[in-house]
């Protein structure tokens, strides 16, 4: 039996935003670096987050990437993944959302994050900073969020990566606001 080699991650993931389509992960990285280079003395948040929506016969997942210049704008893009079945288990959906976020975030863990850090590094003592997050579309309040029982597990998974801080509702806007907006467009 001959095995077909798996394509590298960056060849499989295609992103878009309101002004561009067909962005590879390398394109996304270039846009982020360009955005940061315009103001290297700023404080930046690099965020990845995923949300999902169940439709008849499928579940749509949207993973957003945001580079936020705190208090002064942002650049963002997203990708969608369609699973050809209705995922009704809350734990399965949340787990897959977290997995998709980790998959995209893992691309940036080495050279890409280093290049982002190099932009702000000369200005660290003047207030520049770069923080990295994975936003989880779950909340900790048990009466408001059915997802609260899975929060610790998802946070532990993200923090085990060793690079990203995990955020949950209401701080997890990359998942609960940005990605959520694009899950609402039917498949």
Domain boundaries, the chain: 12-183
DSSP β-ladder status, 129-139 and 165-169: parallel
pLDDT digits (tens, 9 = 90+) for 39-89: 999 999 999 999 999 999 999 999 999 999 999 999 999 999 999 999 999
Residue 157 makes CB contacts below 8 A (sequence gap 6+) with: 98, 102
Beta bridge partners, 52, equal 61
Q: Residue holding tokens 């955020």?
A: 167
d(CA 54, CA 85): 9
Residues 156, 100 contacting (CB under 8 angstroms): no
**Would you state the pLDDT for residue 34?**
98
pTM for the structure as a whole:
0.91
Residues in the chain with pLDDT values less than 50:
4-11
Beta bridge partners, 83, equal 59
**Would you state the pLDDT for residue 6?**
47
**Would you state the pLDDT for residue 147?**
84
**Would you state the pLDDT for residue 142?**
73
**Would you state the pLDDT for residue 130?**
98
């Amino acid at each position: 039996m001959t095995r077909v080699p798996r394509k590298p991650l960056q060849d499989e993931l295609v992103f878009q935003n309101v002004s561009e389509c067909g962005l590879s992960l390398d394109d996304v990285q270039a846009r982020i670096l360009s955005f940061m280079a315009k103001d290297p003395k700023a404080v930046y948040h690099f965020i990845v987050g995923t949300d999902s929506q169940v439709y008849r016969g499928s579940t749509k997942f949207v993973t957003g990437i945001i580079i936020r210049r705190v208090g002064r704008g942002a650049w963002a893009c997203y990708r969608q993944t369609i699973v050809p079945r209705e995922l009704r288990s809350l734990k399965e959906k949340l787990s897959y959302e977290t997995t998709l976020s980790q998959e995209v975030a893992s691309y940036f863990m080495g050279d890409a994050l280093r290049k982002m850090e190099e932009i702000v590094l000369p200005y660290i003592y003047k207030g520049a900073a770069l923080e990295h997050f994975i936003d989880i579309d779950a909340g900790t309040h048990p009466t408001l969020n059915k997802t609260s029982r899975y929060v610790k597990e998802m946070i532990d998974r993200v923090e085990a990566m060793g690079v990203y801080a995990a955020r949950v509702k209401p701080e997890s806007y990359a998942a609960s606001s940005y990605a959520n907006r694009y899950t609402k467009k039917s498949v």
